[in-house]
Amino acid sequence: MLPSTKPQLTELQKASSALSQKWKEESRRLLCGAQNLQEFEKAVIWCGKTGNVIRTLKAGQDVCSFSEHLWTRKPDISNGKYRLSSDLDPFGGNHPYSWASKILHIMNPQQYPLIFDKNIRSVCQIQESWKESRKLAEYENEIKRERKSARNKTVKELFKNDSDWWASVL
């Protein structure tokens, strides 16, 4: 669970948070502005490369299939019904959770106020030694708790909140 008080950031952490926020704003422009699958795929690849998560697709998995999967699930992402724990099943046992959660957060931060990455899991006290299913369950519980306060925040505020928590463990 996220701590009840906001993190106190060093100057370096503040700068890292600011860069993260700018990256999210540009990613959002690309992802939400995509008019077709080809544009969306380019945006997903850009997010994967610049967000350092493109490596999460394992050998034999293909970014085109991943992008198409997310493109066809845009309605579920928009209404908050997409679940990392079950909706990434087409990708076998090697799920690109961090990459997908970045896309979800960027496209709809009110429904996905936190990213499923190592730093956020650390802040939420989700242990890396736990099985993936338990980590995902704890993450999804945290998302449910955070959605309540996210309803009244702007996209910019939500990007800052996630980025500050992320930067707090650097």
- For residue range 82-125, list pLDDT tens digits in order: 988 888 766 655 568 889 999 999 999 999 999 999 999 999 99
Q: Is there a domain that residue 31 lies in?
A: yes
Q: Is there a domain that residue 30 lies in?
A: yes
Q: H/E element holding 47?
A: helix 37-50
Q: Is there a domain that residue 3 lies in?
A: no
The domain total for the chain is: 1
Global pTM reads: 0.92
- For residue range 76-86, list pLDDT tens digits in order: 999 999 988 88
Q: Is there a domain that residue 155 lies in?
A: yes
Q: Is there a domain that residue 2 lies in?
A: no
Sign of the CA dihedral with 160 first, then 147, 67, and 28 last: negative
- For residue range 31-78, list pLDDT tens digits in order: 999 999 999 999 999 999 999 888 777 665 788 888 999 999 999 999
- Look up residue 86 and give its two tokens: 């079950």
- Structural domain of 137: 12-167
Q: Is there a domain that residue 87 lies in?
A: yes
Cα of 157 vs its chain's centroid, Å: 15
Mean pLDDT for all residues in the chain: 90
- Look up residue 78 and give its two tokens: 């928009």
Q: Is there a domain that residue 6 lies in?
A: no
